[in-house]
Structure 1
Amino acid sequence: MSEVKNRIAVLRAEHKISQQALADAISVSRKTISTIETGRFTPSVTIALKLAIFFNVTVEEIFSLN
């Protein structure tokens, strides 16, 4: 089974933004950001698109299959 990997923590560090600030910006909880970053939760397409728009990158630049 494939595992979804992501670069959210890296992008947050590059943009100097906290989990809470990112969560507030895309209207989710900080816990949602945390669980996505650690791979315990795969986000919906809507959340993935909001993250891509926020970071000004493509969804594929954030998420990949392992």
Structure 2
Amino acid sequence: MAKLKTKIHELRKERNLKQDELAKLVGVRRETIGALENGKYNPSLKLAMDIANVFNKTVEDVFEFIDEN
């Protein structure tokens, strides 16, 4: 089974963005950003693209599937 790994936390820190600030930029709650960063939530394609656009990155730059087998 594959697990989704994100670089959201690292990208936020590089830009000095708080979770709530990123959440407002992409139209979700702060808790959603926290859940994404902690691997407890998989984003919709639209949300993944919106987050990537905030950081001027591709979806693949921000999100990566890791094979756990």
Q: Which residue of 1 is the match for residue 55 of structure 2?
A: 55
Deviation at 1:39, TM superposition (A): 0.3
SS at match of 2:40: coil
Root-mean-square deviation (CA, aligned residues, Å) is 0.4
Could you tell me which runs of 5 or more consecutive residues in structure 2 were left unpaired when the two chains were aligned: none
Relative to its length, the structure with more helix (as a share) is 1
Q: Which residue of 2 is the match for residue 65 of structure 1?
A: 65
Could you tell me which runs of 5 or more consecutive residues in structure 1 were left unpaired when the two chains were aligned: none
Q: Which residue of 1 is the match for residue 20 of structure 2?
A: 20
Deviation at 1:15, TM superposition (A): 0.4
Q: Say how many residue pairs are matched.
A: 66
What TM-score do the two structures reach when normalised by structure 2?
0.94
What TM-score do the two structures reach when normalised by structure 1?
0.98
Sequence identity percentage = 38
Deviation at 1:27, TM superposition (A): 0.6
The structure with more radius of gyration: 2
Q: Which runs of structure 1 show a deviation greater than 6 angstroms over 4 or more consecutive aligned residues?
A: none
Deviation at 1:19, TM superposition (A): 0.0
Relative to its length, the structure with more strand (as a share) is 2
